[in-house]
Amino acid sequence: MAYRYAKYLEMGAKQIHNALVTKGLHPSEIEQVKIIIAEQKATRRADRAHRAQMDLQWGELVAPLTHERKIVRSVMRYKGGSAERTTALQAYLAVLDKLTERLTLMRREHNQTPLQLHPERHHWADYVPQHIKDRVVVLFDAVPHTPKAKRKRPFVRTVPAILHGKQKDRLLRRTLKDLGRAQSEGDEALTKQISQALDTIKRLSQGEPVPATWHGL
C-alpha cells in the first residue's frame, strides 16, 4: 500500500512536528496532517499484523506438505520394488506437486489466511478432492505387500512433531485467555464449552493437525 506521508511514518511525534513546521505549514494544517499520519501509522500496523498472520498460517499449512513431498521423493529414490509401487508413488507425487502450486496461487490471489478462506480445513490433505484421494488410494492398495516392509499410505493427516508441539502450545495459550475472559464475564455456558475444548486440546495425539482456534475442534 502506498502512503501519502510515507516519509513521516518512521518518525516520532516531535520529529513529525518539527518537520512540518520547517515546511512552513499553518498550525491548523500541521494538526490535520498529524491526524492523517497517525491514521496511516495505525493502518500500516494493521497491514503488517495481517501479513504476519498470513505468513504464519500459510507457512504452517504448506510445511507438512513440503515434508510429505520430500518423503515421497526419498522413497522413490530407492531402487527395486514393483511397477505398481512406482505408479502409485508417481501419481501421489503429481497430486502433491499440483496442490503445492494451487496453494501458492490461492495465497497470491486472496489476501486472506487459510483460516479465513476455509475455517474447516486444518491440514493440506483437506484441500485435495475426495475423488482424487480415492484414485490414488486405489493405486497404493494395488501395491503387492512385502513382508516386514512398512506400507506407505497417502494423504495421512499428520504434521511434523515440532510443528505439532508449537501449534498445540499456541492454541492452549489462546484458549486459556478465552476461558479467563468468559469466566470474568460470568458466561457459564461459554466457560463450559471452552473447558471442554481445553480437555480436547490436551488429548491431541502427537503429530495430529491442530486448528488455529478452539472453535475448530
Which helix (H) or strand (E) covers residue 126, if one does? Answer: none
Residue found under cell 508417481: 90
Query: Would 21 be classed as within a structural domain?
Result: no
pLDDT tens for each residue of 13-39: 888 888 888 888 788 888 888 888 888
Domain that holds residue 166: 158-217
Contact by Cβ (8 Å): 167, 190: no
pLDDT tens for each residue of 149-206: 788 899 999 999 999 999 999 999 999 999 999 999 999 999 999 999 999 999 999 9
CB within 8 Å of 191: residues ≥ 6 apart: 179, 182, 183
What length does the chain have? 217
Query: Would 192 be classed as within a structural domain?
Result: yes
* Pick from 63-67, 76-80, 126-130: least confident: 76-80
Share of the chain above pLDDT 70, in %: 98
Provide the number of structural domains found in the chain: 1
Query: Would 84 be classed as within a structural domain?
Result: no
d(CA 61, CA 119): 12
Terminal alpha carbon distance of the chain: 36
